[in-house]
Structure 1
Amino acid sequence: MKNNGMNFRHLYYFWVVAKEGGVTRAAERLGVAVQTISTQLSLLEQSIGKALFSQQGRRLVLTESGRTALAYADQIFLLGEQMQEALGEADGAKIRLTVGISDSLPKLTAFRLLEATMRLERQVRLVCYEDQFEALLGDLALHKLDVVLTDRAVRSGTTLRVFSHQLLESETVVVGAQTLAAVYQGGFPRSLNGAPFLLPTRNNTLRGQIDEWFEQNGVRPDIVGEFEDNALLNTFGRRGLGLFFTTAALASDILEQFGAVLVGPVPHMRQQFYAISNERKIRHPAVDAILSAVHHGVLSAV
């Protein structure tokens, strides 16, 4: 069947039905009759020549075509909501900054970087999402995000038109709660043999460097915990349950927030932090403020 143009009201009704899990709940949300919803769905399916739902018992279940349509509808209506918000703020006092934060990026690092946006003369409204690196890049490419903050660069050869801007590079240090650190500070790093450690999981870019450093120095740690969430790892570290690695640029924050002190430096283990954008040149004023703050030492590279 020839497609004579998509009716976005029909598509919106389909989207609400998919989100609400049924026609009745969608009708209640939209304040229309159930028959109206059913008619709109039928017209949409006729216009595209595909069934979007199948009936399983008393439930409507998305077909394969329905799942594909829903993925696009999510993008369409999310962008529509963002457009309305942006237009509403265009003449106002606030700038909107939608940030993707890689789940492997230390939360303190993210805070220090974003803190710079709070100092602009024009107030910034931050909208922050945390996800895996690859998922955030996809959202960035679809312009759902203004910038991604992460601990790795985009690999060369990617088909996505996104660009890496290195913010800083810092050495790594081993830290721990004061009573625990006192036990292992002397004779570092040989003293770490058998020491309790809290480590990032193996999908973290730093973990491979940590394992290699242990092997090079003949250290066999007692790994008491592995964490995907860096904030949770730091919380366990604050309780003195193990030593842990952090960037030297955050050493003073680690002491202040977690009561952790330096056990020893790991100068050859470098950590990099990046802002990923859709453009080679940053144009968003809030992102530019982040780059400027880094240049002026908000996180002191070592």
Structure 2
Amino acid sequence: MIVLNHHHLYYFWVVAREGSIAKACGKLYLAQPTISAQIIQLEKSLGKKLFEREKKKLILTEDGRLVLEYADAIFNTAQELLDAVHDRPSPRVMRVQLGIVDQVSKQVAQMLLREIYRFRPDAQVTVFEGALEPMLAQLKSHATDLVLSNIEVPIEAAADYEKVEIGALSIIFVASPALARQVRAFPGDLTKIPLLLPTRASPVWAGVERYLNERKITPSISGEIQDVELLRLLTIDGMGAAPLNPLTVKEDLRSRRLVRLGRGPGDVKDPVWLVSPKRHRLNPIAQHLLRNFRLRM
């Protein structure tokens, strides 16, 4: 059994929070070599490298981020213990690290954040945005508590994660008013205007391809855009028609910046999942969202 030296862990915690050993020296009133030696001892006892040097900066490794998460819990709890013993009020701040895949509608992300603050008004939320693969890596290393995604977790990685479908948004074709005037017969006239699509990783891409192939429609694809907000803006600018969910374009349709084309495709959906790591100890906010948060249109 490894006996963890809490002094070593504390010095690591301060350095990680301050961002450098030099800044930690001022907090700890210790010399730089002393602090460096303590961190080296912690790395040796754990058998893991916790920091990498990058352009004179200390960057946490994946193992370092995991250790920091537990160190946060340990030392924040210790402070609460001291406050309780001395009868000092100490309202616990609940933190959650949230990853959002960049193809998810910003309106869906906004709804999720509203639910977090409704559940815990004092919550401190950190939001990361990007592609699914790095988000899953952060989940696996426990640097992130939960990921909001509209892309399916790859089969080969599914054993490491749990997912809950929180909704499936319908998809409609929209275009700027000028482009929409060229579409008299939907969906056949989609061949007369350029079409913008999400990238192929998105279930929407596959659904739209199936919808068009079944009707023997071969449109001119002018772009595949990963970021849903950029896809929306390019559509408003008249760069092409696009398949988007009504939640994303609700205000654009109301203001006539965009126009809906026809009534289809009813069978193309944009599913949204919450993805969590397979582990016993879940962040309480993440646990609440997995159990209770669902999209209601």
> Residue 252 of structure 1 aligns with which residue?
250
Matched, 1:73 2:64: yes
Quick one: structure 1 residues 80 and 123, their matched pair in 2 at CA, closer, same or farther if it must change by over 3 Å?
same
Matched, 1:112 2:103: no
Q: 2-side partners of 1:108 and 1:178: how far apart?
A: 23
SS in 2 for 1:242: coil
> Residue 85 of structure 2 aligns with which residue?
none
SS in 2 for 1:75: helix
Q: 1-side partners of 2:151 and 2:49: how far apart?
A: 42
Q: Deviations over 1:123-154 (max 9, x none)?
A: 54432222332433343345444432211454
Give the counterpart letter for 2:193 in structure 1: A
Quick one: structure 1 residues 86 and 114, their matched pair in 2 at CA, closer, same or farther if it must change by over 3 Å?
farther
> Residue 159 of structure 1 aligns with which residue?
159
For residue 76 of structure 1, report the CA deviation from its aligned partner.
0.8
SS in 2 for 1:236: helix
Give the counterpart letter for 2:195 in structure 1: F
Identical aligned pairs, as a percentage?
22
Quick one: structure 1 residues 72 and 88, their matched pair in 2 at CA, closer, same or farther if it must change by over 3 Å?
same
Give the counterpart letter for 1:205 in structure 2: P
For residue 236 of structure 1, report the CA deviation from its aligned partner.
1.4
For residue 100 of structure 1, report the CA deviation from its aligned partner.
1.8
CA contact (8 A) 2:164 2:290 kept: no
Equivalent pairs, count: 281
The runs of 5 or more residues in structure 2 that have no matched partner are 81-88
The runs of 5 or more residues in structure 1 that have no matched partner are none
> Residue 146 of structure 2 aligns with which residue?
147
CA contact (8 A) 1:153 1:164 kept: no
Pairwise CA RMSD of aligned residues? 4.7
> Residue 227 of structure 1 aligns with which residue?
225
CA contact (8 A) 2:103 2:228 kept: yes
CA contact (8 A) 1:200 1:230 kept: yes
CA contact (8 A) 1:151 1:274 kept: yes
SS in 1 for 2:181: helix
Give the counterpart letter for 1:236 in structure 2: L
Q: 2-side partners of 1:178 and 1:100: how far apart?
A: 35
> Residue 238 of structure 2 aligns with which residue?
240
Q: 2-side partners of 1:71 and 1:205: how far apart?
A: 30
Quick one: structure 1 residues 73 and 223, their matched pair in 2 at CA, closer, same or farther if it must change by over 3 Å?
same
Give the counterpart letter for 1:136 in structure 2: M
CA contact (8 A) 2:62 2:141 kept: no
> Residue 168 of structure 1 aligns with which residue?
167
Matched, 1:30 2:28: no
CA contact (8 A) 1:140 1:278 kept: yes
> Residue 101 of structure 2 aligns with which residue?
102
> Residue 271 of structure 2 aligns with which residue?
272
Q: 2-side partners of 1:52 and 1:292: how far apart?
A: 36
Quick one: structure 1 residues 94 and 267, their matched pair in 2 at CA, closer, same or farther if it must change by over 3 Å?
same
CA contact (8 A) 1:10 1:43 kept: no
Give the counterpart letter for 1:75 in structure 2: L
Q: 2-side partners of 1:156 and 1:54: how far apart?
A: 31
For residue 169 of structure 1, report the CA deviation from its aligned partner.
2.1
Q: 1-side partners of 2:255 and 2:92: how far apart?
A: 33
